[in-house]
Amino acid sequence: MNHLILGAGNMVSALLPPFIKDRLACGDKFYIYTPSGNSALLFAKENGINSITHLSEIDNVDTIWLGMKPQQLLDVSTVINALNLDCTKTATYVSLLAGVSSATISESFLSSKVIRVMPNTPSKVGFGVSAIWSTPTVTNELLDSLEIGLSQTGKSFILNDESDIDTITPYSGSGPAYFFEIARHMSNDLSKRGFSPDVSKEVIALTMKGAAEMMLQSSESSQTLRDNVTSKGGVTFEALKVFEEKGLGIIIEEALKAAHKRTMELKGDKK
């Protein structure tokens, strides 16, 4: 199977290297393209694949990975369609583009076979979450190979409805940034109290990692796990009281609502 990767941004760098390694062992071939060529060359060198400098070099391709910026979709599809190749019309398009519907992709590339994948950056270290949805025209064989390949990056969730991709994006797709922001404030505060930045970062990161592992291993709710750490009138209690007084729950709810609204705007749905 031949794969063409368009773009070499964060999502491509996080998600595809383990998948590429798995599929190369099965005899697949990969090619990558970026407008400047620089990122493609670097990615190709790091992952043992080929880069192309012009889309006109496309010969035979089975899957086309859309890893560029959503605003580049029109330009890229215009160039590919101008080539008038049968393979680009029968290819399966695997989209990493947030907020871009399968209908838009099908219309842009004149292909009915679309897979939407919403990964997150922890995929790069094997602890990612990838949400997957496909049109009915995608073969089970391709979906199975995709799921097996992505298992190297973390856990994949096959979704029944395309709208679920847009729903989950602010949570799993954007979620790591929220935790990084919390970690930034906590580690900065610890540094102000005399700990080195490196130690502060490690302490907070390991604390978050341990808490996450407890959530995964425990049958108890996150609220129960929180309560298990909290004694009335104790240190943790006082911190959580400030969270409640300042409306942390409302802040998180409003932030997620804003993220979902932006997802719909990118999709062109103003609801």
**Together in a domain, 26 and 138:** yes
Q: Are residues 71 and 194 in the same domain?
A: no
CA distance 152 to 157: 14
- Share the mean pLDDT of the chain: 93
Q: Which is it for strands 63-66 and 128-134: parallel, antiparallel or unpaired? A: unpaired
**Model pTM?**
0.87
Q: What percent of the chain has pLDDT over 70?
A: 99
How many structural domains does the chain have?
Answer: 2
Residue 11 CB contacts under 8 Å (≥ 6 apart), including other chains: 67, 96, 119, 121
Banded model confidence at residue 271, pLDDT cuts 50, 70, 90? very low
pLDDT of 226 higher than 60: yes
Q: Would you say residue 14 has pLDDT above 90?
A: no
Whole-Å CA distances, 191 to 14, 148, 203, 270:
30, 42, 11, 43
CATH of residue 260: 1.10.3730.10
- Do residues 113 and 222 both lie within one domain? no
Q: Are residues 130 and 250 in the same domain?
A: no
Q: Residue 36 pLDDT > 50, yes or no? A: yes
| pLDDT the model gives residue 246 | 98
In this structure, the answer to whether residues 73 and 117 fall within a common structural domain is yes
Quick one: average pLDDT of 45-56? 93
Domain around 31: 2-159
Report whether pLDDT(204) > 70. Answer: yes
Task: Return the percentage of the chain with pLDDT > 90, whole number.
Answer: 78
Residue 269: pLDDT band (50, 70, 90) is: low
Asked if residue 165 is part of any domain, the answer here is no
Are 209 and 235 found together in one domain? yes
**Hey, which of 19-33, 129-143, 207-221 has the most confident mean pLDDT?**
207-221
